[in-house]
Chains A and B, each alone.
Chain A
């Protein structure tokens, strides 16, 4: 993915800036298949960092009737 550069449109530039840190949408099919992940409590019991298992999945998400992100 190349770096986002300058648009002649300030509106488009605003959108490009907003999305610039989002991940690629080229996601492996396997990521959409049901899979088990550990809960917070289990991670804590095992002495693991509960954040680790989520590291690959960070983008903010909305649904159609949701207010905008803050």
Chain B
């Protein structure tokens, strides 16, 4: 019997994003890709399903394994749910496994009980904060259309009181390009965020009537990242990590980027929804029913990972456009995120122009400031 499993990019494992409550959420963020759908359903993944997933996943993969608990808002599942998760992991893990759990939350439900649980079980925690109150509350709203800033900050304070310093994910929109200094100051100086990831809002299909004119353009992205880079330099803190800057520096130094949308490893993520549906890639495309590759309630995880449907989607995202194959930044970019490509999964990354400009700009700045190495490895190669 064939006991193999299909991988499709140079990573050790397939990394799961587990939507324990599906798209259910206690907020109604205007830019969310679930915003036009009903987020009030209140489903929670069954314990039998989560146990099946953990058991089968640990049978397939070993080494350093990262389980990413997501939503919607994953904390809606309750602490008791996650206590069972940890119990199952302990039951099915062997000496060949080193399990890391992470959770991405809006911070609203975090209290002492949650913080103690995360600390006790060594969970990595990320909280979504878009900048200062004006920027955050513009889109991150409660069901009653009120801002969520103060409650999210209270959640971060609670985590820190228990010795957890969460990473921050900031979503930026077109208007953010005029607010970078203000938001950088808030996130880095006031909130003292040690690790920032930046996501760029795009409503490619034009389905969100409330976000017309808010999609980030190439010009916006280039300006935002150039501004952040210069502010980061001025800050001059070696401990301050801005994920996108690290990834660009990886690119100009010919190092493998840390994030799938820069290193081409999207095919080695899967997303498990609360009802057992499995999607190829991460949560960014888990609102697309046409991408479902199987259901864990009906098939084994290995069967789904090896399914013809999954291979079809892997092949679609792996075929790079001709432009990419001749691009000097191919290894640093890998055609970006499949969810943000023109003309479907096999299209061209919509932020191609901004990335090229940023590799050039940041490459030059790194070279100027790192004279012994000449900074930009590509210049070294060609000389």
A interface residue numbers (CB < 8 A to B)? 1-2, 4-19, 22-27, 31-42, 45, 50-51, 54, 56-70
Contacts and interface: CB of A to CB of B under 8 A. Distances in A.
Contact of B63 (A22, A54, A69): A54
Given A1-B377, A63-B15, 12 more contacts: A2-B380, A5-B373, A7-B366, A33-B8, A34-B267, A35-B6, A36-B5, A42-B4, A62-B258, A64-B260, A65-B70, A69-B66
7 contacts: A1-B254, A25-B257, A34-B267, A38-B3, A56-B10, A64-B282, A68-B167
A10 B104 contact: no
Contacts of A5: 370, 372-373
Contact of A69 (B124, B238, B370): B124
B259 A63 contact: yes
Given A18-B241, A18-B246, A65 B10 contact: no
A28 B236 CA distance: 36
A23 B255 contact: yes
Nearest to A67: B126
A57 B59 CA distance: 19
Contacts of A4: 253, 373
Interface of B is mostly: mixed
Nearest to B196: A68
A11 to B, nearest CB: 5
B305 to A, nearest CB: 10
Interface in B27-47: none
Contacts of A61: 11, 15, 258-260, 263, 265, 268
Given A32-B8, A61-B260, A67-B167, A24 B254 contact: yes
Contacts of A39: 3-5, 59-61, 302
Given A39-B60, A40-B96, A67-B166, A8 B195 contact: no
Interface stretch (B137-145, B146-154, B311-319, B350-358): B311-319
B281 to A, nearest CB: 9
Contacts of B233: 9, 11-12
B318 A64 contact: no
A34 B249 contact: no
A61 B332 CA distance: 14
B256 interface: yes
A22 to B, nearest CB: 4
A15 B240 CA distance: 9
A34 B6 contact: yes
A32 B4 CA distance: 17
A35 B8 contact: yes
B256 A59 contact: yes
B369 A7 contact: yes
B103 interface: yes
Contact of A40 (B59, B267, B284): B59
B29 to A, nearest CB: 13
Contacts of B243: 62, 68
Contacts of B195: 68
